[in-house]
Amino acid sequence: MVVLFVDMDYFFAACEELRRPELKGKPFVVGTHPEKDKFRGVVQTCNYEARKYGVHSAMSINKALELCKDLVYVPDDYKYYDEMSAKVMKLIRGYSFPVEQDSVDEAAVDLGKISYENAKRTGEEIKRRINAETGLPCTIGISYGKYLAKMVCDASKPNGFGIVTEKEMHAFLDSKPVGKLPGVGEKTEAKLKSIGITTVGELAKVNPVALIDKFGSAGVDMQQLAKGVDDGKVVSTEETLSIGRQSTLYRETGDIEVIGKKLKELSDDVAKESARKEFMFKNVGVMVRYSDFTQVTKAANMTHYSSSSEDIYKMAISLAKDLINGKIVRKVGVRVSALLTTKGQKALF
């Protein structure tokens, strides 16, 4: 299997640069809109000029200004970024490989059993087309598994293209800090450090018993990846016989209020889409993707067929509460199935 991973470069900031070319070359951040957000002034992202000063995502705007006094502040506009994201995803899906959208600006594509040479050709074309047709820069990583392809992509940023094959993987991985492994956040990184592990190579070699003690079975998975064993499947995020919407949270969170808001939006969208397609539905499902990329779904039947957004939301929030249960979430989805057409004998397709 060959997997191609795309991640847009400095995505929100690149979108802003596209419509405001005067920003080019100046250090700037895209920040939370102060009127909209009580947690005022957080950096969502910044261009690479600002990164040179040490500015990064999730930093307070004040801190960013301390680091770079000429920093320009641009308020966010999610609606616009979602539109640009949809353009990119549509282009990628146009190749009819299975596509898993992992966040607003990234996707994994299962190229199947093809040679690295052909994968390179396809990847270069996708990169060129994203750039030409959306005006946005991106980076592509190619490898033999989803997580490794993501790592190759990260390591090739910005405006890059990287391929790491089975043979090259150890050289690629061994000296990397463990924090570069997908799913290894600051907490895990600190825990690993406490048992003397800072690099991926060290993680690959340590006695697994020590990892199981600290992390349970997740420790085994982490070590497998460190050894270059990646069985992460690309789970195609297209659905049939159901109507669904998924959306990435702009910040990972465990806050049910924030997640609930997103579920409300998604429920509204799903209700609109089923009205447009003239369906009623009886089954409501939710999908939750945790910060470590694992994904769970839960669905339940209502007592009646419905077409109401409120019904979807009520069911979705109750299902989501069970799944979230204090965990940190990256992405959520809402889906209705058990569809009943409200228009004669219309077929489902």
- The rounded radius of gyration (Å) of the Cα atoms in the chain is 21
* Contacts to ligand TTP from residues 281-310, by CB under 6 A: none
Q: Of 144, 131, 226, 236, whose CA–CA distance to 184 is shortest?
A: 226
Q: Based on CB atoms, which residue is closest to ligand TTP, 330 or 335?
A: 330
237 by DSSP, 3-state: which? coil
Q: Is 97 in the site for ligand TTP (CB under 6 A)?
A: no
Q: Is 134 in the site for ligand TTP (CB under 6 A)?
A: no
* Contacts to ligand TTP from residues 24-53, by CB under 6 A: 44-45
- Number of CB atoms found within 10 A of residue 108's CB: 29
Q: Is 158 in the site for ligand TTP (CB under 6 A)?
A: yes
Q: Of 252, 253, 256, 241, whose CA–CA distance to 299 is shortest?
A: 241
Q: Is the peptide bond before 158 cis (omega within 30 degrees of 0)?
A: yes
Tokens found for residue 158: 């910005």
Q: Is 140 in the site for ligand TTP (CB under 6 A)?
A: no
Q: Is 105 in the site for ligand TTP (CB under 6 A)?
A: yes
Taking the complex as a whole, the smallest distance from the CB of residue 75 to ligand TTP amounts, in Å, to 13
Cα(241)–Cα(5) distance, rounded to whole angstroms? 27
Please pick, among 66, 106, 124, 278, the residue that the annotation labels catalytic.
106
Judged by CB under 6 A, how many residues of this single chain contact ligand TTP?
Answer: 16
Residue 106 bears catalytic tag: yes
The contact mask relative to ligand TTP for 201-240 (x = CB under 6 A, - = no) is ----------------------------------------
Q: Does residue 197 contact residue 178 with C-beta atoms inside 8 Å?
A: yes
Q: Which does 247 bind (CB under 5 to 8 A by kind): Mg ion, ligand TTP, none?
A: none
Cα(159)–Cα(33) distance, rounded to whole angstroms? 28
Cα(92)–Cα(88) distance, rounded to whole angstroms? 6
Q: Is 74 in the site for ligand TTP (CB under 6 A)?
A: no
- At residue 185, φ and ψ (nearest 5 deg) are -95, -170
Judged by the rule CB under 5 A, the positions of this chain that interact with Mg ion are 7-8, 11, 103, 105-106
Q: Which of 33, 87, 157, 233 binds ligand TTP (CB under 6 A)?
A: 157
- Residues forming beta bridges with residue 83, ordered by sequence position: none
Residues engaged in binding ligand TTP (CB under 6 A): 7-12, 44-45, 57-58, 104-105, 157-158, 250-251
Q: Which residues are catalytic?
A: 106
